[in-house]
Structure 1
Amino acid sequence: MPSIPSNKPYRVGRSRTGLGLFATKPIKKGTKIIRYFGPLLDSKKKEEDAIENKYLFELNDRWTIDGSVRKNIARYINHSCKPNAESDVKPRKRKVFIRAIKNIEPGEEINYDYGTDYFKAYLKPIGCKCASCEKKRKKKRAEARAEKARLKAKAERKALKQAEKLAKAEAKDKLKAEAERKSKKLNGHSLNGKHLNGSSRVRGIGKKPASRKRPASAPAPALQA
């Protein structure tokens, strides 16, 4: 960790993206917190214009600050899409200061917006990890989980409804079958309660009663002479 005088209102510490700059004392809105400095690069010089790193701070079309030097404590300030500080660029003086745009409490990480070009070149490809973007992603994940749970509950309700409908249909069919079985059983009994098979008939039904034969009359006795 770089050495920082105790009278400074910040320190370098661990952040979600590696190292970051944190307030050690209350910092009021509008306060110049720290200067972003380093060697000045002249774009008119090919060897200087060819230098590339993540700490280049462009002042104008010609001058750029190479903030990669270790003594530049401001290089530890991370990007945020909702920052509590901003870069105060003074092109004529070829200086950049980081100024608070909100009251910053001790323990809070100091951050500022790196700008659209830097964001597109370095942050967007890997996904911005600032607190604001992490909060958005967390919210989206929570919404996705809630939607998944809602769809699951809906599917379960639908399945339960279908199961109940099927159970009712099966119960109805069972009752119908039971009624038909009882009806067939009743139709298969004789009037006297005896069960008959399909080929049997009730005795006497469909037949004429047999005629009774009268007994032959005895011959009359012969008269004696």
Structure 2
Amino acid sequence: MPSIPSNKPYRVGRSRTGLGLFATKPIKKGTKIIRYFGPLLDSKKKEEDAIENKYLFELNNRWTIDGSVRKNIARYINHACRPNAESDVKPRKRKVFIRAIKDIEPGEEINYDYGTDYFKAYLKPIGCKCDACEKKRKKKRAEARAEKARLKAKAERKALKKAEKLAMAEARLKEKLKAKAERKSKKLNGHALNGKSPNGKSLNGKHLNGISRARVAGRKPAGRKAPVSAPAPALQA
């Protein structure tokens, strides 16, 4: 960690993105917190214009500050989509100050908006990790979980309704078969009591187990008649 005088209202510490700059004392809105500095690069010089790193701060079309030097404590300030500070650029003086745009409490991380070009080139491809974007992602994840739970509950209700419908259909089928069996049983019992067969014919016109019609009717069977013999011829005197 870089050494910082104790009279300064900030310190370098661990943040969500690695290292960051944190307030150690209350910082009032409008206060110039720290200067962003480093070697000036002249875009008219090819060797300087070819230098590339994440700490370049463009003052104008010609001059750019190379803030990659270790002594530039402001290089530790991270980007935020909803920052509590901003860059105050002085092109003529070729200086940049980081100024508070709201009251900053001790322990709060100091941050400012790096700008659209930097965001598109470096932050968007990996995803911005500032508090505002993290809250958005957290909200989206919560909404996605809620939607997933809603769809799951809907599917479960649909499956339960289908199962209940199937159970009711099976119950109706069982009742129908039971009623049919009862009607058939009653019909058979009624035919037996009326002396009729299931096809509606009288049982009195048929032999039952070798019993004749007469026995079924309650009469004794008629005996077989003996053959009548011819009268004997009369004897002549």
TM class by smaller structure: 0.7 to 0.9
**Bigger Cα displacement from structure 2, 156-165 vs 178-187:** 178-187
SS at match of 1:127: coil
* CA RMSD across the alignment: 5.0
Q: How far does residue 176 in structure 1 lie from its aligned partner after superposition?
A: 4.4
Q: Deviations over 1:75-102 (max 9, x none)?
A: 0000000100000001000000000011
Residue 201 to residue 41, structure 1, CA distance change in 2 (3 Å):
farther
Tell me which residue corresponds to 2:26. Answer: 26
The 5 Å alignment of 1:12-23 reads 12-23=12-23
Q: Deviations over 1:1-20 (max 9, x none)?
A: 00000000000000000000
TM-score when normalising by structure 1? 0.82
Q: How many pairs were matched up? A: 225
Q: Which structure 1 segments of 5+ residues have no match?
A: none
TM-score when normalising by structure 2? 0.78
Q: How far does residue 211 in structure 1 lie from its aligned partner after superposition?
A: 12
Residue 41 to residue 200, structure 1, CA distance change in 2 (3 Å):
farther
- In structure 2, how many angstroms separate the alpha carbons of the residues matched to 1:195 and 1:25? 120
Tell me which residue corresponds to 1:60. Answer: 60
Residues 87 and 99 in structure 1, CA contact (< 8 A), matched pair in contact too: yes
SS at match of 1:188: helix
- In structure 2, how many angstroms separate the alpha carbons of the residues matched to 1:98 and 1:80? 13
**Bigger Cα displacement from structure 2, 5-14 vs 191-200:** 191-200
- In structure 2, how many angstroms separate the alpha carbons of the residues matched to 1:156 and 1:128? 38
- In structure 2, how many angstroms separate the alpha carbons of the residues matched to 1:99 and 1:198? 123
Q: Deviations over 1:147-171 (max 9, x none)?
A: 0000000000000000011001101
Residues 36 and 74 in structure 1, CA contact (< 8 A), matched pair in contact too: yes
Residues 56 and 68 in structure 1, CA contact (< 8 A), matched pair in contact too: yes
- In structure 2, how many angstroms separate the alpha carbons of the residues matched to 1:76 and 1:148? 40
Tell me which residue corresponds to 1:207. Answer: 219
- In structure 1, how many angstroms separate the alpha carbons of the residues matched to 2:210 and 2:151? 59
Q: How far does residue 183 in structure 1 lie from its aligned partner after superposition?
A: 3.8
Q: How far does residue 173 in structure 1 lie from its aligned partner after superposition?
A: 5.2
- In structure 1, how many angstroms separate the alpha carbons of the residues matched to 2:50 and 2:210? 109
- In structure 2, how many angstroms separate the alpha carbons of the residues matched to 1:133 and 1:78? 13
- In structure 1, how many angstroms separate the alpha carbons of the residues matched to 2:127 and 2:95? 30
Q: Deviations over 1:126-159 (max 9, x none)?
A: 1111111111011101100000000000000000
- In structure 1, how many angstroms separate the alpha carbons of the residues matched to 2:75 and 2:61? 21
Residue 175 to residue 31, structure 1, CA distance change in 2 (3 Å):
farther
Residues 59 and 91 in structure 1, CA contact (< 8 A), matched pair in contact too: yes
Residue 17 to residue 204, structure 1, CA distance change in 2 (3 Å):
same
Residue 36 to residue 169, structure 1, CA distance change in 2 (3 Å):
same
Residues 188 and 196 in structure 1, CA contact (< 8 A), matched pair in contact too: no
Residue 147 to residue 45, structure 1, CA distance change in 2 (3 Å):
same
Q: How far does residue 220 in structure 1 lie from its aligned partner after superposition?
A: 16
Residues 214 and 220 in structure 2, CA contact (< 8 A), matched pair in contact too: no
Residues 207 and 213 in structure 2, CA contact (< 8 A), matched pair in contact too: no
